[in-house]
Amino acid sequence: MTIVKPAVKPARPFFSSGPCAKPPGWSPEKLQTESLGRSHRAKIGKSRLQLAIDLMREVLQVPDTHRIGIVPGSDTGAIEMAMWTMLGARPVTMMAWESFGEGWVTDVNKQLKLNANVMNAPYGEIPDLSAVDFTHDVVFTWNGTTSGARVPNGDWIADNREGLTFNDATSAVFAYDMPWDKLDVTTFSWQKALGGEGAHGVLILGPRAVERLENYTPSWPLPKIFRLISKGALAEGIFKGETINTPSMLAVEDVIFALEWAKTVGGLQGLMARSNANAAALDDIVAASDYLGFLAADPSIRSKTSVCLTVKGADEAMIKKMASLLEAEHAAYDIAGYRDAPPGLRIWCGATVDTADIQALGPWLDWAYHSAKA
C-alpha cells in the first residue's frame, strides 16, 4: 500500500488541550509592555490586573453579583483554594469522570478527610445528574479535559440548593454559556480556552460563596496563598487586582490581548460559534473514517473543546507513533490522549483554533494512522 502525504497542512498545527493555541494573529510584538519591569502593586500593575478582570467579566457575561479574582497555581490553585476554604461546613458530594475530577476527590477525602460521597463514571460517560443531593456541597468538572465528556447544561443544578456548587470550568469557559445563577464557585485557567500563558488561575465567587467564607472557618490550617478572609471579611482587594502573590505581568498582558481579540470575534457568542464550528468539522472527519470514534459516545455530553477520539486497534505505543509522525511533519502538535485516559487522540477545538486547520488535519490523521500501522 502506498501512503501518500497530504498536500495541505494546517496553517497553525496547535491542537494541544493546554496550553492551547494562541489567538489568530497573535505575536509577542503585539503585547503591551508598559507594565513589565514594574511592581504589580504600582498603579499601572493594578490597573492592568483590573483590566484583565473587567474584560473577563465582559466577555463571559459574569453578573455584578459575582466577584472575579486572579489567583496563583492555575486552575489547580483556584479549585484547591475554594475547597480548602469553604468545604467542611456541610456534607460533600464529589463528582468525577476523568483524571482531574479524580484528583479533587483524592484531595478532599485524603487531605481534608471529609469522607465525601463520590459519584464516579468511566471515561467518556458522566454520573446520573438526577441523583445529586443538593443539601450537600457539590464539586464537579463541567468539561472533562481528559475524557471528552461534559455536563449537557446547568438544568440539573437545583435553584433551591442548600449546599454550594463548585464548578471546575477550565475547559468549558469561553466555549459554553455558564448559568452563573447556579454556580457559587467557578474556577478556570486562561491557558486553556484563551491560549494564555500558564500559572495563573481565576476564581469566581457568587454571593452564597462569599457568605460561606465570611461565616465559616475550616478546622484545618490554611496556607497564606489560600487565605481569602482578612479581619473576618472577604479580602476584597483580591477581586480588584491586588493578587495574593506576585503575578507575571507578561502573562497578564498576554491574556488581555486574548480577551480583546475575543471581543473582535463577537464576544462569548462568537467564541462559542467558533468552538462549535471546530467540533462540527471534527465530527465530519470522524463520520468519514472507519477507524476513528468518540470516547464520549453520547453527543449530548460530548465536549466541544477537548474532543477525545478512539482509534481502532491502537494501543499506547501506536498513539505515540501517530503523534510523533504528525509532530515531525509539523502537521499537528500534542494530540496524544492524556496519560491516564484510554489510548486515543485528543484534539482541542476551542475558539482560538481555526476551523480550516481542523479540516486540514483530517487527511493527516489518515496518513499517520496508516503509516503507524505499516
* Local structure of 138: helix, strand or coil: strand
β partners of residue 40? none
**pTM, rounded to two decimals:** 0.97
Mean pLDDT of 23-44: 96
Q: Where in the chain is the domain with CATH 3.90.1150.10?
A: 267-373
Phi, psi of 278 (to 5 degrees): -65, -45
Cell of 121: 463514571
pLDDT at 2 over 90: no
At residue 193, the pLDDT reads: 84
CATH 3.40.640.10 positions along the chain are 28-262
The band of 1, judged by pLDDT with boundaries at 50, 70 and 90, is: low
- pLDDT for 326-372, tens place per residue? 999 999 999 999 988 999 999 999 999 999 999 999 999 999 999 99
Which are the contacts of 346, defined by CB distance < 8 A and separation ≥ 6? 17, 146, 148, 306, 307, 308, 309, 335, 336, 337, 338
pLDDT tens digits, one per residue of 84-137 = 999 999 999 999 999 999 999 999 999 999 999 999 999 999 999 999 999 999
The per-residue pLDDT for range 187-229, each reduced to its tens digit, is 999 999 899 999 999 999 999 999 999 999 999 999 999 999 9
Q: State the Cα–Cα distance between residues 344 and 337, nearest whole angstrom.
A: 5
On the question of pLDDT at 30 being above 70, the answer is yes
Q: Which CATH code of 3.40.50.1700, 3.40.640.10, 2.30.40.10, 3.40.50.10420 fits the domain covering 28-262?
A: 3.40.640.10
Kindly tell me if the per-residue pLDDT of 3 is higher than 90: no
Determine the pLDDT at residue 40.
94
* Residue 346: its H or E element: strand 345-348
Q: For 261-320, write each residue's pLDDT tens digit.
A: 999 999 999 999 999 999 999 999 999 999 999 999 999 999 999 999 999 999 999 999
Residue 336 DSSP code: B
pLDDT at position 266: 98
Task: Give phi and psi for 33, each to the nearest 5.
Answer: -120, 0
To the question of domain 267-373 being in CATH 3.40.1390.10, the answer is no
The model's confidence at residue 161, banded by pLDDT at 50, 70 and 90, is very high
Stretch 27-36: mean pLDDT, rounded?
Answer: 97
Mean pLDDT of the chain: 97
pLDDT-based confidence at residue 23 (cuts at 50, 70, 90): very high
